[in-house]
Structure 1
């Protein structure tokens, strides 16, 4: 198995894509640190993994707080015995016109999505370098990190920032043996987007904008993340892998 005895840390691991990454990494033999703002959710996912015969521990983490981030990385290293892969999956979004977006909402989305990618990555890389180890980081960008959509100014800005940060970290950390890549998902059915799918008209629209005539599921993205984090792909860094069912390929006329 690709991840046998490797330690995988996941922020936003209590639900959605992050939860699926935790479960699939564990199924491939990884020791998993499930990090989430809601510690109960993190511990619930870790319990699911242990019940299935895997190894996992839940942790509380506020990705916008440097002290919380450091405690998560150090706690994961102590518990799992090593560090190998960090997946930055924590994220939020707003739906409001750029004209009506409040400074507070702007700051909140930027803090979680962009700063919340930078801080765990920095703490993780520092620990790897101090230990003389190599490792991987995979960030959750978005198709809205390479294009735009209405009423999501902060989200679009933050995800474009994640794309840029991924490239910068890859450039700086490559000589240290740390690879940094990102996945840019299309529309994925998660708790954050679930309300779209409760509306039949919206569901049909979402299906229709994808070349493959379907939306994505968390497993679609988790597989891509674990592909990027696998040691067999050791010459990939600074890449942004689009996994969107053909959404950005072109419009159906």
Structure 2
């Protein structure tokens, strides 16, 4: 198995893409640290992994709080015995016109999506460098880190920031043996987007903007994340892997 006995830390691991990454990594033999702001959700995922014979530990994690992040990384290392992979999956978004977007909401989205990627990455990388170990970081960007969409100014800005941060960390950490890549998903059906799919017309529209005429599912993104994190891809860093069913390929006329 590709991740046998490797320690994989996942932020936002209690639901959506993060949850799927935890389950997929565990199925590949990883020891998993499930971090989530909702401690009960994190424990549910960890318990599911243990119920399947895997090894997992749940942590309450606020990715915007340096003390919480440090406790997560150090606690994961203690519980799992090592650090190998960090997946930054925690994220939020707004749906409001740029004219009506409040400063409070702007700051909240950027804090979770950008600062919430920077802090865990920094804490994780510091531990690896101090120990002279190599490792992998995979960030959750978005197709809106490469383009734009209406009513998502803060989300789009934050995900462009994640793309830039990914490249910067890859540049600075490469000689330390720490690879940093990102995945840019299209529309993925998760608890955060589920409301779209309750409206048949909206659901059909979403399918139609993708060349493959379907939306994505969490396993589509989890597979891409594990691909980037596996040791066999040792010369791949600073990359942004688009997994969007052809959304950014072009518009159907």
Q: By the TM > 0.5 criterion, same fold? A: yes
Superposed displacement of residue 199, structure 1: 0.2
**Distance (Å, rounded) in 2 between the aligned partners of 1:63 and 1:158:** 14
Q: Please give the TM-score of this superposition, normalised by the length of structure 1.
A: 1.00
> Which residue number in structure 2 is paired with residue 69 of structure 1?
69
> Which residue number in structure 2 is paired with residue 91 of structure 1?
91
Superposed displacement of residue 131, structure 1: 1.1
Map of 1:136-147 to 2, 5 A cutoff?
136-147=136-147
Render the CA deviation track for 1:47-69: whole Å, top value 9, x for unaligned.
00000111001001100000000
**Distance (Å, rounded) in 2 between the aligned partners of 1:60 and 1:173:** 27
**Distance (Å, rounded) in 2 between the aligned partners of 1:152 and 1:145:** 11
Q: Mind listing any 5+ residue stretches in structure 1 that lack a counterpart?
A: none
> Which residue number in structure 2 is paired with residue 122 of structure 1?
122
Q: Please give the TM-score of this superposition, normalised by the length of structure 2.
A: 1.00
**Distance (Å, rounded) in 2 between the aligned partners of 1:176 and 1:156:** 30
Render the CA deviation track for 1:95-127: whole Å, top value 9, x for unaligned.
000000000000000000000000000000000
SS at match of 2:150: coil
Superposed displacement of residue 93, structure 1: 0.1
SS at match of 1:173: helix
**Distance (Å, rounded) in 1 between the aligned partners of 2:101 and 2:213:** 32
> Which residue number in structure 1 is paired with residue 109 of structure 2?
109
> Which residue number in structure 1 is paired with residue 30 of structure 2?
30
**Distance (Å, rounded) in 2 between the aligned partners of 1:143 and 1:130:** 34
> Which residue number in structure 2 is paired with residue 176 of structure 1?
176
Task: Give the total of aligned pairs.
Answer: 253
Map of 1:1-253 to 2, 5 A cutoff?
1-253=1-253
**Distance (Å, rounded) in 1 between the aligned partners of 2:249 and 2:55:** 39
**Distance (Å, rounded) in 1 between the aligned partners of 2:2 and 2:84:** 12
SS at match of 1:104: helix
Question: What's the Cα RMSD here?
Answer: 0.3
SS at match of 2:57: strand
**Distance (Å, rounded) in 2 between the aligned partners of 1:143 and 1:180:** 18
**Distance (Å, rounded) in 1 between the aligned partners of 2:23 and 2:84:** 16
**Distance (Å, rounded) in 2 between the aligned partners of 1:196 and 1:72:** 33
SS at match of 1:96: coil
SS at match of 2:249: coil
**Distance (Å, rounded) in 1 between the aligned partners of 2:131 and 2:199:** 51
Render the CA deviation track for 1:152-187: whole Å, top value 9, x for unaligned.
000000000000000000000000000000000000
Superposed displacement of residue 132, structure 1: 1.1
Render the CA deviation track for 1:125-166: whole Å, top value 9, x for unaligned.
000011110000000000000000000000000000000000
Superposed displacement of residue 248, structure 1: 0.2
Q: Mind listing any 5+ residue stretches in structure 2 that lack a counterpart?
A: none
**Distance (Å, rounded) in 2 between the aligned partners of 1:113 and 1:14:** 16
